[in-house]
Amino acid sequence: MSLLSPPTTLAGWREAASRLSFASDILIDGTLRPAVDGQTFATVNPASGDTLAEIAAGSAADVDLAVASARRTFDSGVWSRRPPTERKVVLLRLAELIRAHAPELALLDSLDMGKPVQDALGIDVPGAAAVWQWTAESIDKVYDQIAPTGSGDLAMIRREPLGVVAAVVPWNFPLDLASWKCAPALAAGNSVVLKPAEQSPLSAIRLGQLALEAGLPPGVLNVVPGLGASAGKALGLHPDVDALTFTGSTEVGKLFLSYAGQSNMKQVWLECGGKSPNLIFADCDDLDKAAEMAAFGCFFNQGEVCSANSRLLVEARIKEEFLERLIHHAAHWLPGDPLDPANHAGALVETRHADRVEGFIRRGEQQARLIHGGQRLTIAGSDCYITPTIFDQVTPSHELFREEIFGPVLAVSTFETEGQAIALANDSLFGLAGSLWTGSLKRALRVSERLRVGTVSVNTVDALSPQTPFGGIKQSGHGRDLSLHALEKFTALKTVWIKY
């Protein structure tokens, strides 16, 4: 497959998948190797139930080897003391390799976690390449500082890499989120140990191979697939990991904070759960566009998005009209074979997760009014498909309002006043993102100021780019991915004071 000719049909993608080979071992010191204890785990295509490959299951012993490799390369200076302009060249080359291998990488993520291959090809892979490129181009434009002092003193404030960074990433955007973590950590001069989710290890291993091809020295990026309870925990507890960056559930984020306290007080940067509100005011200029984007904001990627706009808050006097439009647009997100370019939604990542999402739906029927969807489908022998689901009359006491479902389930609530809308939006343990739709600039500024979230999107949903920071507050975590602010997580300030 080449960049210029990715498949355009279901048959073409299936044929490409039949020819695809999988790297399945641990990548340490530039070499693929089995796990120390020889253990493996299966990575399964949720769209069919077929095992794609047996993956080396990293354990604490493998983590020790990977961290030792990262430490050696960091201390050697082969990357950490390499001039920023030279690091930039390598990472820009990696961005181009990602683009050149776009169909392969898209297929790996689609097969691994069930997302539509067209989304992986058109959104995820270009987005990952853009993050590598933007971060690489930024690194030689970040300046140190000189503090104001009296005559005879020179006080320099320098940013230096931390050392060994562990990156633990989720399965919903495997390549993208690995890039969000690794690009700034490597650009700053750190060495990295990357642990992908056990459900989606394939593109991470391939990323490690492409990084070597781009010229990254062996040992600067090590990839250790494995289970969270073994490899993930070992990274959290490791005394020679200087910082750990994580995207995933709030529950696991709290474990990493605990592991840091039990070990070496390593820095821990968390991007955790979300239950993002989407506020629709009656003065919205385009209700149909708002309804279209409300469907996108909840049902894109099968709803498996940490910042999904899964709480819809609608002003009472437009609710019925808006819901009619919303249901019409929900039909666009009916799930099907992820390799069919005509499908906009695919399979949930695994049967266990589909069971969990279905459980929310069945319990929700006892609390609120199901007005659309709610069916679990079996397609090609897999039961990992759930139709776009909309509940009305959801109150703050309902589980549908409070819990992160991580599936295509939308909870609709009603408000009468702007103050009620803000109160409902902020009534959450989470604070990752939020959206609002209004034709009033004053209202947009007023409401966005009061929403307790990390990102507010006005007259759109879930807006982000490499240039803007992404992250949350409250139990959505702390620290920021993307933008120059991401570099701050992976550097330490050092003051050098010289008397002359």
Q: How far apart are CA 324 and CA 330, in angstroms?
A: 10
First to last CA, the chain: 62
Q: How many other CB atoms sit within 10 Å of the CB of residue 150?
A: 6
Q: How far apart are CA 420 and CA 481, in angstroms?
A: 31
One-letter identity of residue 182: C
**What phi, psi does 488 have (nearest 5°)?**
-65, -35
Cβ contact 125:98 at 8 Å:
yes
- From the list 306, 350, 404, 418, the catalytic residue is 306
Question: Which residue carries 């991580």 as its tokens?
Answer: 406
Helix (H) or strand (E) holding 214: helix 202-214
Cβ contact 268:246 at 8 Å:
yes
User: Which residues, other chains included, contact 484 with Cβ-Cβ below 8 Å and sequence gap of 6+?
Assistant: 138, 142
One-letter identity of residue 68: A
Closest listed residue to residue 432, CA positions, set 313, 312, 348, 309: 309
Q: Please tell me the total number of residues recorded for the chain in this structure.
A: 500
Count of alpha carbons within 13 Å of 191, Cβ hemisphere only?
28
Cβ contact 412:277 at 8 Å:
no
Q: How far apart are CA 156 and CA 158, in angstroms?
A: 6
Q: How far apart are CA 278 and CA 357, in angstroms?
A: 21
Question: Is residue 271 annotated as a catalytic residue, yes or no?
Answer: yes
How many secondary structure helices (H) and strands (E) does the chain include? 17, 24
Q: How many other CB atoms sit within 10 Å of the CB of residue 376?
A: 17
Range 421-452 burial, b when 16+ CB lie within 10 A, else e: bbebbeebebbbbbbbbbeeeebbeebbeebb
- From the list 271, 358, 418, 488, the catalytic residue is 271
SS3 157: strand
SS3 154: strand
Closest listed residue to residue 417, CA positions, set 315, 321, 317: 315
Kind of pairing between the strands at 277-280 and 267-271: unpaired
Question: Is residue 324 annotated as a catalytic residue, yes or no?
Answer: no
Per-residue H/E/C for 73-122: HHHHCCCCCCCHHHHHHHHHHHHHHHHHCHHHHHHHHHHHHCCCHHHHHH
Q: How many other CB atoms sit within 10 Å of the CB of residue 373?
A: 21
Active site (catalytic) residues: 271, 306
